[in-house]
A and B are shown apart, each in its own frame.
Chain A
Amino acid sequence: MLLMRNGASQVRGLKVCSVLTAHLNTALLCLMVCGFSPSVLAQERTPPASSPLTPTLNFYGVPGLIDMPGAGALPNGQIAIGVSSFGGQTRTNFTFQFSPRIAVTFRYSGIQDWNSDGFDTYRDRSFDFRYLLVKAGRKAPAISIGLQDIAGTGIYAGEYVVATKGFAQPFRFGGAVKVTAGLGWGRLGSTGSIGSPFGADRPQFVPGDPGGELRVNQWFRGPVSPFGGVVWQVSDGLSLKAEYATDAYTAETSREVFSNRSHFNFGMEYQVSPALRVGGYWLYGSEIGINLQLQVNPKNPPVPYRLSGPRPIIERPKRLSNPAAYDQGWIAAQNAPVVIREALDTELTQDGIRLHSVSVGAIRAETRVSSDRFDNFAILTGRTARAMARILPPSVETFDIVLVTNDFPISKVTLSRRDLETLEFQPDASALLLSRTFISDADPAPQGRTAQVDGYYPNFRWAVGPYIRPSFFDPDRPVRADLGISAVAQYRLAPGWQVFGEIRRRLVGNIADASRPSDSVLPHVRTDALLYAQATDTSLEQFVLSKQWKPGPTTYARVSIGYLEQMFGGLSGELLWKPADSQLAVGIELNYAKQRDFDQGFGFQDYDVATGHLSAYYDFGNGYHAQIDTGQYLAGDVGATVTVERQFANGWRVGGFFTLTDVSAEDFGEGSFDKGITFTVPVSWFTGGPTRRAVSTTVRPVQRDGGARLNVSGRLYDQIRSGHLVDVANDWGRVWQ
């Protein structure tokens, strides 16, 4: 029953783009698999991964030796994807350096020839957590502490404290050396023990255990063993490794998966490019192993962001030399707002900016603008301000630029025209301008003498394109996918109102070929994915009428009705409080959801549920976000979801979540509780050009029915946060572009 839907996708910006999230994601993955590593194309901004100070990865995908861990951290924000294999065991590892000291790893592994406990090949998922206790100094070694397989079945459970010291050139014949020594518990202390300092009562791994619970009571319990090793970086590309390993591989050797004849492992690695590293090894005296490591950093795009330069700012004449230019008589003209609107609209449209309205006064003017082109509100602000400076009469000194997204006026950026004219080519111009700029709440509607830009509504868009829906971790076939054609349409009736629909036609795929029906004792709100896949090749994915509006300067509202997602339809309402300059937001969402027929047409099944959540969001700054949602889930269970996310200013987002509800671990089934990791990759990171499109994917170790939320498109917080103070300020370095 491990068939699950892990392709749940959403796109920031245009909803109509959601259909392509899955296929773009897969395309990018293909580019990597095919050898077109993004970082290979990148101009080198940081030292290459072969630098003596940059850790290399072990067979578990964490900084280390060969099979043993080492100390140190990857560059902040680094993402490492690796595949290692030896003795019939293959581990696919994903490691994210969440902060300078914290790293997390998700792993999917398969052990061939298990031939017991009902498994021919034993497949498992596991999470690791690492913390860098001490950064490497001139004399001090780096020291890390790690927890391996903290919430899985425990097959790889182990803990360690390890130190690594680098020596730049200890030998006459050159090359850098790193020496590692550590203490391991659990799997890492299963041979060569020197005692059990924190108690010997450590539970053993039980094959088939549903896993999923934090095994706090076993951490650092049981025998502890010293391990260590050496890495000799012979040249920029070539490294040699040797280690003393303290993993007895008891579960594997007892099932004759392989023979553990030696504690000493040896290897040779080569840094093919800054992103790609390959290695070959001789392990445990009996096995040949390989390790393929690919590292990318969201901070280093393969193509630099490039946007055609802006129009210059036209300086006003000096007031002293031409006081008549500053005359305010123009405001008396009845058609002044309309004339200005026409001129601004023409200029902004050429820049890919949509002007919603202009409100003018003698010394102050407000424009409301949005863009389907720019993913960066600082650029939108800067280009709008330039246009205002070119067109507005000289007496207008203060510009209010209201940033609009999906018809929401989300914040007001107030700039001095004089600052625009004088600061652009001053040293540190962006920071200077930001220090004199105010970002505040935007009124729901413009005030004063206003000229609206009419003619946008009704607005119809459609698109036809391919899609790919992946499905991971089926024990019979870990990667499955359907590929087909998707047609989407969006009809915007009036500000805030829209009808959105998507129809898919599957052409090829193998998700429906799975043979593991749901065994869940809970209402099958998610685990009938196989039945949905088998019922039809043509599906109505969504058909939703929605209205969203801004009741007050700091509140946002949305109502959606229709076929909300693949498995549920119904009614969804949401209200969010989020001041533009606040790091805190609070929202409430209430839904009535009825389960759709498996054929994903217009019919419904008997199951319905009232579901909803009270949500709190907090932006810690520097790209760290947290979110707590508490309420009732689709299966009727009650609990809370905790989400932590790292967002990069260029749009990359990597996060993790877990949900605990009143469903017991036994009733939940494999995994014990819902958890997963999320990715959002902006398309502009690959293309280097401005676009608001992004690819999002959620990957769960296993999808069960407990802790399942309704997948409603257009949740409010994600729509508005990028236009508020913290995010706009983070993007401000591009305001002059």
Chain B
Amino acid sequence: MTSVYQACLLVLASILLGCSGGSDVPYAQMFGNPLRKPSPAPEDVSKLTPQWIAALTTPALEVTLERSGRVAVLSPFSDRRDSAGGAVRIWRSADGAQIVLRGGVLIATRGVGNDVDSSLAQTMIAALSARAPVSGHHVLYTVTSENRTKAVDLSCQSKLIEGDVIDIAGRQIETRQVRVTCRWGAETKVYDFWVDAGGSTVWQSRQWAGPDLGYIRTRLLNE
């Protein structure tokens, strides 16, 4: 087995020793390097102090991927409004990952990995705007490793939980909590939204983005 390990080390070391040149293509593009550099580290969340947030001049969204533990602070990239109702905002991280929210509901991701291509999110959007329980389907169209989309069809029922005061980096915000409980086959997925008590802003949420991406948490640091 020692010789096997030596061979492994020799091969891996030799891969790193290659070089190249030419008109336009660096070595990494010609031959590539299977030991890719790690992705940029997520933003330092320890800096999310009330003072730092107060100094923000643009909206900011903190996003946490529960499965991987990755945390990033995202900035608005694009806003649009279409016939499906609700404003769509694309949030982007420093390393190019994108989260797309329609009225606070996650409807797509780009560049995250195991992405959500699109969603049928009317039930979830209605649950946030209604003051009464709403039921219906919430469908995630996730991108598979085979480059296809797969419909993840959830059957959902919302309920309004009593008002809640949440803390976002020392800032106290009065909200009402909306919980949407969904069935996906034999599994139960729970969506939680903390909506501004006096408006429609979703300050905080925990949303399920499919079997591969898992739960995503969002906190709106600045409107």
Contacts and interface: CB of A to CB of B under 8 A. Distances in A.
A650 B84 contact: no
A483 B21 CA distance: 23
B117 A30 contact: no
Contacts of A700: none
A689 B36 contact: yes
Given A459-B22, A466-B15, A372 B29 contact: yes
Contacts of B29: 372-373
Interface string B80-113: 1011100010101001111010100001101111
Given A431-B149, A730-B147, A461 B22 contact: yes
B10 A734 contact: no
Contacts of B27: 463, 465
Interface in A306-320: 306-310, 312, 315
10 contacts: A43-B212, A312-B90, A428-B139, A428-B151, A430-B149, A648-B146, A649-B147, A688-B113, A730-B147, A733-B144
Interface stretch (A143-151, A152-160, A297-305, A708-716): A297-305
B117 A736 contact: yes
A18 to B, nearest CB: 11
Contacts of A483: 10-11, 14
B18 A465 contact: yes
Given A309-B110, A310-B110, A462 B21 contact: yes
A643 to B, nearest CB: 22
A688 B118 CA distance: 21
A583 interface: no
A463 B31 contact: yes
Nearest to A46: B211
Nearest to A727: B147
Interface in B60-74: 67
A522 interface: no
Interface string B126-153: 0000000000000101011111110100
A649 B146 contact: yes
Contacts of A31: 8
A300 B117 CA distance: 18
Contact of B7 (A30, A373, A686, A733): A30
Contact of B30 (A16, A466, A733): A16
Contacts of B96: 308-309
A428 B121 CA distance: 11
B12 interface: yes
Nearest to B84: A426
B4 interface: yes
B34 interface: yes
B4 A737 contact: no
A20 B31 contact: yes
Residue from A307, A372, A648, A688 having most chain B Cβ neighbours under 10 A: A307
Interface in A451-492: 458-466, 468, 483, 490
B145 A305 contact: yes
Given A734-B147, A737-B143, A462 B22 contact: yes
B113 A306 contact: yes
Given A459-B24, A460-B23, 10 more contacts: A17-B32, A20-B31, A299-B145, A427-B119, A429-B141, A459-B23, A463-B19, A483-B11, A691-B32, A693-B32
B5 interface: yes
Contacts of A458: 23
A33 interface: yes
Interface stretch (A21-29, A212-220, A662-670): A21-29
Interface string B12-47: 101101111111110101111010100000000000
A23 B110 contact: no
A622 to B, nearest CB: 10
Contact of A734 (B4, B30, B143): B143
Contacts of A373: 29
Interface of A: 14, 16-17, 20, 23-24, 26-27, 30-31, 33-34, 43, 45, 299-301, 303-310, 312, 315, 372-373, 376, 378, 422, 424-431, 458-466, 468, 483, 490, 648-650, 683, 686-689, 691, 693, 730-734, 736-737
Contacts of A648: 146
Contact of A301 (B10, B78, B119, B145): B145
B187 to A, nearest CB: 13
B140 to A, nearest CB: 9
B25 A461 contact: yes
Given A24-B34, A428-B118, A689-B36, A306 B12 contact: no
B213 to A, nearest CB: 9
A733 B20 contact: no
Q: Which of B77, B83, B96, B117 gathers the greatest number of chain A CB atoms within 10 Å?
A: B117
Contacts of A650: 145-147
Nearest to A467: B14
Given A30-B12, A649-B147, A733-B147, A308 B120 contact: no
B207 interface: no
Contact of B34 (A307, A422, A431, A686): A686
A21 B48 CA distance: 47
A670 B64 CA distance: 60
A312 B83 contact: no
A304 B212 contact: yes
Name the residue among B17, B146, B149 with the largest chain A CB count within 10 angstroms. B146
Contacts of A731: 147
Contacts of A687: 32, 34, 36
Contacts of B5: 34
Nearest to B117: A430
Contacts of B115: 737
State the 9 A-B residue pairs at the shortest beta-carbon distance, nearest first.
Answer: A308-B96, A465-B18, A461-B22, A463-B20, A466-B14, A309-B110, A304-B113, A309-B98, A312-B78
B114 interface: yes
Nearest to B19: A464
Nearest to B143: A733
B180 to A, nearest CB: 17
A463 B20 CA distance: 4
A425 B147 contact: no
Nearest to A489: B22
A21 to B, nearest CB: 11
B107 A425 contact: yes
Nearest to A492: B23
Nearest to A683: B32
A466 B18 contact: yes
Nearest to B97: A309
Contacts of B24: 459, 461
Nearest to B98: A309
A687 B18 CA distance: 18
A733 B148 contact: yes
Nearest to A735: B117
Contacts of B4: 30, 33-34
Contact of A304 (B80, B108, B114, B151): B114
Contacts of A422: 82-83
B30 A463 contact: yes
A359 to B, nearest CB: 24
A424 B21 CA distance: 39
In this complex, which of B7, B96, B115, B145 has the most chain A Cβ atoms within 10 angstroms of its Cβ? B145
B18 A464 contact: yes
A306 B15 CA distance: 23
Centre residue among A306, A430, A689, A736 by max chain B CB count within 10 A: A306
A668 B58 CA distance: 75
Contacts of A737: 110-111, 115, 143
B110 A299 contact: no
Given A20-B31, A299-B146, A425 B120 contact: no
Nearest to B110: A309
Contacts of B98: 309
Nearest to A45: B212
A23 B32 CA distance: 13
B110 A736 contact: yes
Most A CB contacts (10 A, CB to CB) among B34, B102, B111 go to: B34
A15 B143 CA distance: 30
B82 A730 contact: no
